[in-house]
Amino acid sequence: MLNKGVKPLAAATGLLLLAGSLAACGGENDAKSNGSGGEATKEVKISVLTGNSQDSVNGMNAMIEGFKKVAPHITIELETRPDGSEGDNIVKTRLATGDMADVFFYNSGSLMQALSPEKNLLDLTNEPFMENIQDSFKQTVSYKGKVYGASGGSVVAGGWYYNKKIYADLGLSVPQTWDELIDNNKKIKEAGITPVIGTFKDSWTSQLVVLSDYYNVQAQVPNFAEDFTAHTATNANTPAMLRSFEKLQELHENDFFNKDFLATTYDAGLKMLAEGQGAHYPMQSVGVPTLLQNFPDRIDDIGYFAQPGDDPAKNGLTVWMPGAGYIYKGSKHIEEAKQFLAYTASVEGVQAAAAVSSPIGPYVVNGAKMPDDVPELVKDMLPYFEKGQIAPALEFLSPIKGPSLEQITVEVGAGYKTAQEGAEAYDKDVEKQAKQLGLEGW
């Protein structure tokens, strides 16, 4: 489970080392006084690549502003990329062509391992600032015993947003089983409201019903991740895993999605949820800051619950570790890149981002705490963490995640493929990556 221990000495030490290292940095541009009467420091510009979502950009800009106060001689040039498979391809292409930013923010877990870390990423294992990072996170950015990423982010939940006003008006209760969720959806549909918001125009969002179900899979088959990695179990021949695809198929068969779900975007989906045009949205908690910023007067109308399984006694939350910051091994400004990454993974950096972007779960930086005024829907997630009713998403337990899952889940959710066909297609999709990783059994 998550390590919530606080290590103030380690955090303080990391910040002191960061501050002490600033005077030693070098660069290629004109020098200017450091303001203390000592030797001049040199102005250096480094590039930083992050996702283009509103929340990502706002949080990164806040950390850049905070970093200026610590290292005024380092200028940050911010670049953005799309999320989902398009963003994955951009990251891989830029690494392959040697055109990567000095620091880039990307997924942890299996997608990080697919970046050829030894070749492309700087080893951060022994950097002092890594003492600030919880061990539960370090293992998600490790490869062959070395740690390559750092994060100041918060843990991401995978489950269902719901409109509490709709629930209250229809006398509904938060479902503890999948059948109860289906019954709620039928009552919502009868009331003339869209039961489930689909935003498949942004295809990455189509995966959430399948991916958020992993707590339920692990509850039934505790060794699935290990067996899947060893190729002794597959999605199609494991009933608990196949059930995840069947749930997506069931939403289609009951006509629960909005009519234009194939043309609806993620941002439009959040708007539908907040305005009560749809009752449910299966989605990660990454949408909380956007909801809070764009719909502050409706944030209290929204709640959150874990994707239900078939057994009410085994109800829990699937969680994603936050993405990480990585330093491109070919960077010409390694020391400055380390200093910026150290700041983003410090309590100070976390607080800077939190000032403009509400946390969406517990932080992975020791000593960083969630503000007391987080929205109620974030507090809905905390009992799962407190009771230990959480499980990491499969991509953090196995290095295998096929690149075409989001296209496959679009097809299942739209009725172009059955759940069985989708699971079989995904089993074929993962083969190439597993072989590239040199995993035994493939």
What is the percentage of the chain residues whose pLDDT exceeds 90?
A: 75
3-state secondary structure of 371: coil
Q: What is the DSSP code string of 160-221?
A: EEEEHHHHHHHT----SBHHHHHHHHHHHHHTTSEEE---TTSGGGGGHHHHTTHHHHHHH-
Mean pLDDT for all residues in the chain: 90
Beta strands 103-106; 324-327: pairing state? antiparallel
At 437 the pLDDT is 85
Q: What is the pLDDT of residue 266?
A: 96
- At 170 the pLDDT is 98
pLDDT for 35 beyond 60: no
Q: Is 422:100 a contact under the CB 8 Å cutoff? A: no
Res. 228 pLDDT band, cuts 50 70 90? very high
Give the pLDDT of residue 30.
Answer: 42
Q: What is the pLDDT of residue 95?
A: 98
Q: What are phi and psi of 132, to 5 degrees?
A: -80, -15
Q: How confident is the model at residue 379 (pLDDT cuts 50, 70, 90)?
A: very high
pLDDT of 195 strictly over 80: yes
Interacting residues of 417 by C-beta distance below 8 A, sequence separation 6+: 408, 411, 425
Mean pLDDT, range 266-286, rounded to an integer:
97
* Overall average pLDDT of the 41-64 stretch: 92
Looking at 301-315, 336-350, 382-396, which range is the least confident one? Answer: 382-396
* Residue 253 Cα distances to 106, 185, 245, 308, angstroms: 35, 12, 13, 18
Residues 384-405 have pLDDT tens digits of 988 889 998 999 899 898 989 9
Position 32 pLDDT exceeds 70: no
**Do residues 420 and 347 touch, judged by C-beta distance below 8 A?**
no
Counting other chains too, the contacts that 225-231 makes at CB distance below 8 Å and 24 or more residues apart are 225/394, 225/397, 225/398, 226/397, 226/398, 228/394, 228/398, 228/400, 229/398, 229/399, 229/400, 229/434, 229/439, 230/439, 230/440, 230/441, 231/434, 231/439, 231/441, 231/442
**274 versus 5: which is more confidently predicted?**
274
Higher-pLDDT residue of 114 and 39 is 114
More confident residue, 210 or 37: 210
Spell out the residues 6+ positions from residue 245 whose beta carbon is closer than 8 angstroms to its own.
210, 235, 409, 412, 419, 420, 422, 423
Instruction: Tell me the sheet residues that pair with 103.
Output: 48, 327
Q: What is the mean pLDDT of residues 178-204?
A: 98
3-state SS assignment for residue 20: helix
Q: What is the pLDDT of residue 39?
A: 53
The pLDDT of residue 369: 87
Is pLDDT larger for residue 373 or for residue 36? 373
pLDDT at 357 over 60: yes
> Residue 42 in contact with residue 73, Cβ under 8 Å?
yes
- Give the mean model confidence (pLDDT) for residues 292-314: 95
Helix (H, G, I), strand (E, B) or coil at 156: strand
Question: Pick the residue with more confidence: 88 or 41?
Answer: 88
Least confident piece of the model among 21-30, 311-320, 323-332, 377-386: 21-30
| Average pLDDT estimate for 421-436 | 94
What domains are defined for the chain? 8-154+321-354 (3.40.190.10), 156-320+376-436 (3.40.190.10)
- Across 281-290, average pLDDT: 94
Mean pLDDT lowest among 255-259, 327-331, 378-382:
378-382
| Percent of the residues in the chain that have a pLDDT greater than 70, as a whole number | 91
25 has pLDDT over 80: no
Listed range (70-84, 252-266, 332-346, 368-382) with the worst mean pLDDT: 368-382
